[in-house]
Amino acid sequence: MHTARRIAARTLSATVLALACSAGAHAQGFPNKQIELILPAAPGGTTDTAVRLMTGKWQEFLGQPVVVVNVPGAGGVIGANQVAKAKPDGYTLMGAFDSLVVALPFVQKTVEYNMDSFSYLNGFGMGAIYITARADSPYKNMADVIDAAKKANGKLSYASYGIGVITHFTAERLWDLTGVKLTYVPYKSSPESVSAMLGGHVDFAVTAGTGGAARNPQARILAVAGDQRRPDTPSIPTLKEQGYPVSLDFISAVLAPRGLPEDVRARLVDAIQKAVAKYGDLFREEFPKKADLLFINMPGEQVQKTWKERQNWFRETAPKMNLDKR
């Protein structure tokens, strides 16, 4: 009996030691292969562009490449579902944004995740939502848009990317507030929405970032949905300035599947912070010009807290959009 107990004790001690060594070895051996960052959107959008500006710099401190893979579809749900179900080993990350994690669960049946399905690593960009028309249109400001929409009774249309995304929510909040109807036509990305508007397929584009409109003389940006004017587009008035109290920006962030080992998480965050320390000035300069984002460096815990607080806004707005879950 005593011998059996001694053997059991030795076995238990060995098991505990092995588990401890294994846990400590996570970060020491990580990463030993390339990391894949899923971007649940088409190429060319704000988060996609910003992520591509940063991943090469992260590689310098991780010792392995970080490869961006675009997985568009269903407003980003297809890619986010993929990440939520991935092994939490640090080799699958996601470039995320508010509507993907916070809003879409309210309006899409295909969502297989919630806010607690992810580990939050870092918020890197603050973006704005813009309303744009063609430069040759009669719309000079938002009052022109609302007046025309009241007369058209649903015949005017606008483009954005996906059903239930943050731009869709913002637009529908504005239409509900002003008592007008516009027909929504979803596209795969903000740049595609701007192209559709410029091509005459829709009357307006509501985009995350300017969608390239700020650099296109054929476009006229009418408003930005922020508390104040953006330093990267200082000539564009806010909706609030024009008498419409709708304000919403968005945060772009890096997430991983829930259950990420703490030492692996620390290794990833350390690499991100080292890249910020060395290249932060470059990011601050390049983000507004190339990604329509202002660079931020927000701890993952703060991203999660901010999004949970914002969840109430989406929960209140969703029923007014008359959207059955699709």
Q: Convert the pLDDT of each residue in 121-177 to its tens digit.
A: 999 999 999 999 999 999 999 999 999 999 998 999 999 987 888 899 899 989 999
Question: E strands within the chain?
Answer: 35-39, 66-70, 92-97, 118-134, 157-161, 183-187, 204-208, 219-224, 249-257, 293-299
Q: Count CA within 13 A, CB hemisphere, residue 180.
A: 23
- So what's the pLDDT on residue 6? 52
Asked whether residue 145 falls in the same domain as residue 172, the answer is yes
Asked whether residue 229 falls in the same domain as residue 304, the answer is no
Asked whether residue 139 falls in the same domain as residue 109, the answer is no
Amino acid at 117: S
Asked whether residue 118 falls in the same domain as residue 20, the answer is yes
- pLDDT grade for 14, boundaries at 50, 70 and 90: very low
Over residues 261-307, the pLDDT tens digits come to 999 999 999 999 999 999 999 999 999 999 989 999 999 999 999 99
- So what's the pLDDT on residue 197? 97
Evaluate whether residue 306 is within a structural domain.
Answer: yes
Asked whether residue 164 falls in the same domain as residue 227, the answer is yes
- Phi then psi for residue 184, to 5 deg, are -95, 130
What pTM value is reported for the model?
0.82
- So what's the pLDDT on residue 323? 60
Over residues 228-242, the pLDDT tens digits come to 999 989 999 999 999
Report the domain count for the chain: 2
Evaluate whether residue 148 is within a structural domain.
Answer: yes
Asked whether residue 142 falls in the same domain as residue 104, the answer is no
The answer to whether the CB of 124 falls within 8 A of the CB of 295 is yes
pLDDT for residue 107 is more than 90? no
- So what's the pLDDT on residue 22? 43
Asked whether residue 104 falls in the same domain as residue 85, the answer is yes
Asked whether residue 169 falls in the same domain as residue 69, the answer is no
- Cα torsion angle, 113, 85, 109, 253, sign: positive
Evaluate whether residue 295 is within a structural domain.
Answer: yes
Share of the chain above pLDDT 70, in %: 89
- pLDDT grade for 310, boundaries at 50, 70 and 90: confident
Asked whether residue 268 falls in the same domain as residue 219, the answer is no
Which residues are registered as beta bridge partners of 158? 184, 204
Reduce the DSSP state of residue 78 to 3 states and report it: helix
Evaluate whether residue 116 is within a structural domain.
Answer: yes
Asked whether residue 157 falls in the same domain as residue 263, the answer is no
96: which DSSP letter? E
Evaluate whether residue 136 is within a structural domain.
Answer: yes
| pLDDT (average), residues 245-265 | 95
pLDDT for residue 194 is more than 90? yes
Asked whether residue 102 falls in the same domain as residue 144, the answer is no
pLDDT for residue 23 is more than 50? no
